Structure 1
Amino acid sequence: MSLSLRMRTFLLFSGSAAVCSLLVVLSHYFAFNRLDDGGAVSAFLISGSLSAFAILAVTTKVWLLFDENVAKPVDHLAVAIRTRAHAGVDALVDLHSSRFLGDLGPAVQAVTGKLSEVSAETNDIVANETARLMAEKAHLSMLLTEIPVAIILVSPNHRIMLYDGQAADVLGQVHVPRLSASVFDYFDETELLAAQEKLSDGRSEVLAKVKGSQGKLSFELRLKKLKKVPGYMILIDGTKAQISPEAERPLIYDFDLDEQESERALENRPLQDLQFVVFDTETTGLMPNKDEIVQIGAVRVVRGRIVPGETVDQLVNPGCAIPPASTKVHRITDDMVADAPDAGSAVTRFHGFARDCVMVAHNAPFDMAFLNRHARVCGLSWDHPMLDTVLLSAVLFGETEAHSLDALCARLDITIAPEHRHTALGDAQATAEALCKMLPMLSSRGYTTFGEVIQQTRRHGRLLKDLN
């Protein structure tokens, strides 16, 4: 485990103080052995003790000055550089706090300023090219919308690599569409595998009637073998499926998903390969043992990017009156939740949305306490791996900094619109944006796998205890 500059400095000064104190004590000990006069002995012992305390006091004072004027500013400068380089944030350099570092503060400011200029030029080029590609993608999505066929591309390990707007409507009849989710979350596994095996027998196309995974719906699917790439395509005739003709959804895809090492142990998998569900809850109060959920919001992050459209924004009927003090915070009233599903139904649906994902929240123990209570009633198990952005913030910016969601967003230049703050989806969206900016920063610190990040967050676990 690598030690921070501040800890190394503390150990250096502590070691120096200990050595000096030991030398003083030893010198007086030898003097004591050579004296017979009791008064002289007492004087030597007193002077030795006072000398030791004096050395400790001076060393402590010097260390505090060094920590405040050298170690902390160096840490802040390092954070500013990493935030600029890896999160694309114009982090301010505090020249006053780094005034005792000579030209280092202005030099860092110059470097970060130059990075900003280069980044701005690069961003303009990227923005122009991205705009062109997005226009082409939008045009393609529009053309696909005009074709009454829903399209889903599935990887060899039966993960969804692409779906279009009409497929989103079809998948949404079973559950919220999710990129990289198992296709068996939406279609009956036995029936779909039987159809897919016929493709393996040399046929290029197979027609099949397949039930939805929950057994309540039936779909007429056409499976086609892909010639140049592994996997297969599922086509669904829009005239026979419940597809909204006016619905427009972006074309969602990630063709790198079929290359992921899904069999590798989670702790050894790179952060960028993981799927995250970033979530938040709004409640009737702050006591998980007696208060209730009134809203669940969640956003999916795949390969370090927020997936558009793959969200949960669910009001929940708490089965009791919402206190006015709570409504004042999240603006959810009794009338708004009157026709909403109960907590058991909402939590069960969210459990399916979070399947196979690492769950992420800001102060996760609070939200998980509500989910766990209802999971026991519904027969569910929240055994998902967890990350907490409070702890990630502490790993990257130091434990002494503020780690509220507002403070983290301000540090990473993330704006939460006032009307979205303290809504479950609004806070989940902001937390997801923070996660996407912190992932490359963590990698730059050498924490590239999930296991390495978890090991670092455990060092700051007491922050959550203090919050809760």
Structure 2
Amino acid sequence: MLTSLSLRLRVFLMFLGMTAAVWVAIGLALYIGLGRAAETGVAGAFTFSGILLFFLSLAIFTGCWFLFDTNVAKPVERIAAAMRTRAHAGVEVSVDQNEARYLGDLGPAVAAVTGELSKASEDAEGIVAEETARLAAERAHLALLLTEIPVAIVLVSPTHQIMLYDGQAADVLKQVHVPRLSSSIYDYFAESELRPGFEQLTEARREVDVEVHGTKGNLSFQLRLKKLSEASGFMILIDSTNARMAPEAARPLIYDFDLTERDTEKAIENCSLSELSFTVFDTETTGLMPNKDDIVQIGAVRVVNGRMVPGERIDQLVNPGRPIPPASSKVHGISDTMVADAPQPLEAVADFHEFASESVIVAHNAPFDLAFLQKYGKVAGLEWPHPILDTVLLSAVVFGSNEVHTLDALCERLCIDIRPEVRHTALGDAEATAEALCKLLPILTSKGFETFGDVIQETRKHGRLLKDMN
């Protein structure tokens, strides 16, 4: 019946009912209290009435708060989160009209707006898709042309961060470590040998040949350094004889030219979310006790400029040095046979430590996974100075702390499909978490959390959620 009334009339009736309830409580308290006057005296009767009135008023206000929170506050919060998700993450969402039944015309109005927005988005997406296809074709053609050049190409920013590499360069860099956009070129080539080469480049001398060693192993590389004339930064040409690509192998062209404009000296808390590089990871383990159990798999991907970088990932089985309990194998599908020839935890964690260098580490329920990394890091002498983000807390900031914040629930809200065969694999869960992060970042910015410091300050308000999940 109330749903047929206007919203303003419902609010008026709510306050009218609350006022009536208070007056009834006052009358009831006085009636009961004065009925005891013969036993306790007038002063005692009024004291009893006051105490009774306090508890009756508390019950009335608690009931009103519960009704308001259930029928107004929570639905409004969910509608706001849904609208931001639709507007900034491009996710198709629907408003639960039954839940919004006491909000007057707000539910239908929001549904109408999202419907029109969807139509407009479909029209725009058609135009964007055509342009994207054209750019993708040009990019593929450029990548194909680059593979015909008998050198591998890396572009670095003025601060020596990698901002482009082709397929051949990726193969060369991989001999040292997984190639990573935004990472320092000195993570791959000895700084003591490469930096003097950069310093020789001037307006008069725009090319320099140098021989450098890799930062790992006994590898030597012949490099030609070129100072870019029409853009800031440097080009590194590597003799393709160092590459070991199969003819049929994929030859991606990976780049992010926004890195030329990044201020690497800025404090992390003052960096905007779009300026940061993220390493999103997950682990599979022998059990749920970091002090007793061990890692059996590490999966990680990198997110730069709000998108996952193709090819920059870790998918590593780990030999825990002990039998994997059948109950754990039933969850993640990893058996003793599968990890028999895999590296030990210390080696795998050290590789991940290098992969995540100079980035923000992200995980879903991060304290659990980080506890394993810190355990092995302590033995190996590794420090973890990386800033940390937890998508459980980011979900709470965006959707409210009263919602369910499991990875499955978050992915469902953001329309992220996790294939059953990759759920509870380290890489599959890491990719799902990374996709969620990419959709959450623009929503956070739209809510006014523009810097990393803003986000961290807000997530601290929801820290209890992590305690509840562990």
Same-fold call, TM cutoff 0.5: yes
| Paired position in structure 2 for 1:133 | 135
Q: Is it true that 1:157 corresponds to 2:159 in the alignment?
A: yes
1:52 to 1:310, Cα distance in 2 relative to 1, 3 A: same
Distance in 2, matches of 1:325 and 1:69, equals: 43
Distance in 1, matches of 2:80 and 2:133, equals: 33
- Measured after TM superposition, the shift of residue 239 of structure 1 is 2.8
Aligned-partner residue type, residue 192 of structure 1: L
Distance in 2, matches of 1:380 and 1:243, equals: 33
Distance in 2, matches of 1:113 and 1:226, equals: 48
Deviations 1:107-135 (CA, angstroms, capped at 9, x unpaired): 00111111111111111111111111111
Q: Is it true that 1:354 corresponds to 2:356 in the alignment?
A: yes
Aligned-partner residue type, residue 390 of structure 1: V
Aligned-partner residue type, residue 339 of structure 1: D
1:201 to 1:444, Cα distance in 2 relative to 1, 3 A: closer
Unpaired runs of 5+ in structure 2?
1-10
With structure 1 as the length reference, what TM-score do the two structures score?
0.91
Distance in 2, matches of 1:125 and 1:367, equals: 42
| Paired position in structure 2 for 1:345 | 347
Percent of residue pairs identical:
65
- Measured after TM superposition, the shift of residue 461 of structure 1 is 0.6
Q: Is it true that 1:104 corresponds to 2:113 in the alignment?
A: no
Q: More deviation in 372-381 or 65-74?
A: 65-74
Aligned-residue RMSD, C-alpha = 2.3
- Measured after TM superposition, the shift of residue 202 of structure 1 is 2.7
Distance in 2, matches of 1:367 and 1:249, equals: 33
- Measured after TM superposition, the shift of residue 38 of structure 1 is 6.1
User: Does the 8 Å contact 2:301/2:431 carry over to 1?
Assistant: yes
| Paired position in structure 2 for 1:5 | none
Q: More deviation in 194-203 or 72-81?
A: 194-203
Within-5 A mapping of 1:211-250: 211-214=213-216, 216-250=218-252
Distance in 2, matches of 1:240 and 1:135, equals: 28
User: Does the 8 Å contact 2:169/2:243 carry over to 1?
Assistant: no
Aligned-partner residue type, residue 105 of structure 1: G
Distance in 1, matches of 2:340 and 2:217, equals: 29
Distance in 2, matches of 1:256 and 1:214, equals: 29
- Measured after TM superposition, the shift of residue 146 of structure 1 is 2.2
Q: Is it true that 1:364 corresponds to 2:385 in the alignment?
A: no
| Paired position in structure 2 for 1:299 | 301
| Paired position in structure 2 for 1:71 | 73
Q: More deviation in 61-70 or 360-369?
A: 61-70
- Measured after TM superposition, the shift of residue 144 of structure 1 is 1.3
Aligned-partner residue type, residue 403 of structure 2: E
Secondary structure of the residue that 1:99 maps to in structure 2? coil
Deviations 1:316-340 (CA, angstroms, capped at 9, x unpaired): 1111111111111111111111111
Aligned-partner residue type, residue 382 of structure 2: L
Q: Is it true that 1:116 corresponds to 2:118 in the alignment?
A: yes
Distance in 1, matches of 2:150 and 2:338, equals: 36
Correspondence for 1:173 among 150, 175, 196: 175
Deviations 1:195-220 (CA, angstroms, capped at 9, x unpaired): 11121373121111100012521000
| Paired position in structure 1 for 2:4 | none
| Paired position in structure 2 for 1:395 | 397
Aligned-partner residue type, residue 95 of structure 1: Q
User: Does the 8 Å contact 1:188/1:215 carry over to 2?
Assistant: no
Distance in 2, matches of 1:344 and 1:38, equals: 77
Unpaired runs of 5+ in structure 1?
1-8
Aligned-partner residue type, residue 261 of structure 2: E
Distance in 1, matches of 2:368 and 2:324, equals: 18
Aligned-partner residue type, residue 62 of structure 2: T
With structure 2 as the length reference, what TM-score do the two structures score?
0.91
| Paired position in structure 2 for 1:309 | 311
Give the length in aligned residue pairs.
446
Aligned-partner residue type, residue 364 of structure 1: A
Distance in 2, matches of 1:83 and 1:242, equals: 44
